[in-house]
Amino acid sequence: MQPSESNLNVGSEAPAPAHHSWLYRRVALPILALLRMGASPEKLAWSLAVGLLIGINPILGSTTLLCLAIAFVLRLNLAASQIANHIVYPLELILVIPFIRAASRLFHTAPMPLSAPELLRAAREHPIALSRQLWLWEWHAFLLWALLAALAIPILALALTPILRRLLKRVEHHQYPLLSATKQAEK
C-alpha cells in the first residue's frame, strides 16, 4: 500500500529554514565552526587579526600567499586567516592610493600622478623611469603598511579575544545557532 501525500505530511511539518545574511553565512558561521572544532579563542583572534591586516596590504595580488606564509610560520589557523584576508579585499582596493600617497609624503618621494593622461604620457616617454617610480611608490607604501600592521595586529588580536571567548561560551551552551532550524529539527 502506497502512502498518500497527505499521510506523509501529517505531523512532520518542520519549521521554516532560517535565512541568514551573506555575512553571517560566509563569516560568522565558519568562525563559529572553528570554535566548535576546538580552535582556541586566542589563536583564532591572532589568526583573524593577521588575516585582516594582511588583507589590506597595498601590494595587490600578494595577500593570499603572504597570509598563508605568515599564518603557517606563526602556526595560526589558516582557514581563519584566509577568511579575514578575503573579507577585507574591497578595503584593500580602497586603501591602495591612500597608502601610496601617505608613503610618498613620509619618504619624500614625488607624488603619484592620478590622472590617466599623465600616467600614459609618462609610460610612452619614460617607461623604465615610470616602472622604477611605480616600484618605489609600492615599496614605500608596503613599508608604511608593515609598520602600521605590526602595531595594529596585537591590538586587534587583544580586542578580538574576549569577543571570541564569549562566542565560545555561547557555542558550548548551544545558544548560537550553527545550523538552520530544519537541520536542527532533523537531529
Whether residue 2 is contained in a domain is answered as no
Whether residue 31 is contained in a domain is answered as yes
Could you list the pLDDT tens digit for every one of the 187 residues in the chain?
Answer: 454 444 444 444 554 455 667 777 777 777 888 877 878 899 999 999 999 999 999 998 899 999 999 999 999 999 999 999 999 999 999 999 999 999 999 999 888 877 788 888 888 998 898 889 889 999 999 999 999 999 999 999 999 999 999 888 887 777 665 554 444 444 4
Whether residue 176 is contained in a domain is answered as yes
**Number of domain units in the chain:** 1
Place of cell 611605480: 134
pTM of the model: 0.75
In this structure, what C-alpha cell is assigned to residue 174? 548551544
Whether residue 136 is contained in a domain is answered as yes
Whether residue 127 is contained in a domain is answered as yes
The dihedral built from the CA positions of residue 72, 62, 55 and 31, taken in this order, carries a sign that is negative
Strand, helix or coil for residue 185: helix
Whether residue 152 is contained in a domain is answered as yes
Whether residue 153 is contained in a domain is answered as yes
CA gap 81, 71 in Å, rounded: 7
Domain that holds residue 71: 22-180
Whether residue 3 is contained in a domain is answered as no
